Copies of this chain bind each other. A is one copy, B any other.
Amino acid sequence: MNRLLLTSMTLCLGFAMAAATATQTANNAAGHTSASQAAIAVRNGVQAYRQQHEKAILTEFTGLLALPNVATTVADVERNAAVISTALQKRGFHTRLLTAAPGTPPAVYGELPTPGATKTIVFYAHYDGQPVAQPGWRTTPFTPTMRTGGTGPDVHDVGWRTAPSIDPEWRIYARSAGDDKASVQVMLSAIDALHAMGKQPTVNVKVLYEGEEEQGSQHLPAILAANAKLLAGDLLIVGDGPRDQSGAMQIVFGARGVSGLDLTVYGPRLPLHDGHYGNWAPNPAVMLTHLLDALRDENGHILIPGFYDDVRPMTPAEATALAALPDVETALKQNLALGRTETNERLGNALFRPALNVRGIRVGNVGKEAANVISTEARAAIDFRLVPNETPAGVRDRTNAYLRTLGWYVVDHDPTNAERSAHPKVVQANWDLNYAAYRANIDSHMANVLVDSIQQVLGTPVIRVPMSGGSTPMSMFATALHMPIISVPIANYDDNQHAANENLRVQNLWDGITIYAGILTGQGW
């Protein structure tokens, strides 16, 4: 299927690239064509180094992926932090672990000053991963496994360590392969490549690798606040998220925020036979579906009163950038076997609005395990994807207030029997407020130099995406640190991040090394 996708994508790419190039040319004003020769030298040098060291790079990367990294187990992320610190030190970085409080996941800080450089770039990534309980993992999440590309039945494992050569369409399967240890690996390998070429970066380099992004970055604000001076710089690059579905290189100027909401509604205190009580005892499954349907419709529209009041309007520059995004939708619909989309908008425009996602519902059993029972409770997991200028607290307050107008008695604890008896409809609403959204100026000086350094080293246009649908804690950096925040993603779009069989396409790893080397040696900072 991936081959099919890539083929049909190629068809749209020509058009998309033309549009994107026009946009970039307008944005880049004077341009930076004088850097072309230097950039080509970097490109060739990195490629030569990489070709000679492919297995060494993959050995280091799969070693990192083999470390369990779900941040609910702090000892696991601490082991990752130690390995990453050692790897940075080998490249000349001074490192420190930054921790908000004892027993919380550490962030790895590293610093590689460049004599004579006047600008400092801070590279952010996270080394923790999503939970791994999803069914369907073909190999266990922390046994990195190389396979031929795609996810169909013809995919097979590859013994890459003994293979005569590495096919760049192969993929490495493991939790965090794409989200987000790839961004750590490409920094390490880019520094190695520049060192092998005898080249210095043109900027001071700082790295900040977080250890609990997938758990909502709860301690990151405290880490940033306590280390604002240490982290000072002129540009913060967020290395997270997938590249565009077209395979084209894009950089991203914002990200939706996110807040989680866990809901539990209550039926009878004891499970009941649904024949002997069905029609009389309230069924929590039915209560929950009606609650959820009151929150949003089938077209993604959120029904909570006033929910869209705080949404910052789109600027003309953002509208232009969105219109210039390549058409990935046609091929996506085909490949995902979608008979419809939630709205008739383009993907980028749909992601510019807030979203209410139902992540899971659990009540009773289905299939052969289904029993004829009215359950005692029903649970749902929701996330809200926020846009500027919504705040997590504002979303929580609007939602809770709305639930109350619908007759729900809203609690934040397991309700007592007295509470359950006293109220017709009781819901436990547990919020995980996480962080707000962010959108940067898509046309600043640092933005233009960054775009140019990547375009030059790749030799292909870079697409400017005003805001990512997925969430990274850009708003936290924006609140704590005074510099533009721009995201440079490197993973393949179909990396199954957050799901079973997460993977990274090998060519994306190679390209990532080139991109990072290009940024580190960019001209005009």
Contacts and interface: CB of A to CB of B under 8 A. Distances in A.
Given A370-B360, A374-B357, A469 B270 contact: no
Contacts of A119: none
A420 B333 CA distance: 10
Interface stretch (A89-97, A340-348, A505-513): A340-348
A290 B279 contact: no
A367 B343 contact: no
How many copies of this chain?
2
Contacts of A237: none
A283 B262 CA distance: 17
A339 interface: yes
Contacts of A130: 371-372
A296 to B, nearest CB: 7
B275 A258 contact: yes
Contact of A425 (B258, B277, B340, B497): B340
Interface stretch (A59-67, A204-212, A376-384): A376-384
Contacts of A458: none
B351 A498 contact: no
Given A279-B355, A333-B421, A134 B342 contact: no
A277 B362 contact: no
Given A131-B369, A334-B421, A498-B371, A256 B275 contact: yes
Interface in A76-110: none
Contact of A365 (B338, B357, B362, B371): B362
A243 B471 CA distance: 56
Contacts of A288: 289, 361
Interface in A190-209: none
Contacts of A22: none
A281 interface: yes
Contacts of A370: 131, 260, 262, 359-360, 381
Contacts of A272: 336, 499
B357 A278 contact: yes
Interface in A295-350: 296-298, 300, 333-343, 345, 347, 350
A73 B144 CA distance: 38
Contact of A366 (B262, B273, B292): B262
A133 B369 contact: yes
Contacts of A360: 285, 363-366, 369-371, 375
B341 A281 contact: yes
Given A130-B371, A366-B379, A370-B260, A359 B417 contact: no
A353 interface: yes
Given A367-B262, A380-B366, A381-B364, A471 B338 contact: no
Contacts of A278: 300, 351, 355-357, 383, 385, 469
A268 interface: yes
30 contacts: A131-B368, A131-B371, A134-B373, A242-B273, A258-B275, A268-B336, A268-B338, A269-B336, A270-B499, A273-B470, A274-B357, A275-B470, A277-B469, A278-B300, A278-B351, A281-B342, A283-B342, A285-B360, A285-B361, A286-B298, A289-B289, A293-B293, A337-B421, A339-B421, A340-B425, A358-B363, A360-B365, A360-B371, A361-B362, A361-B363
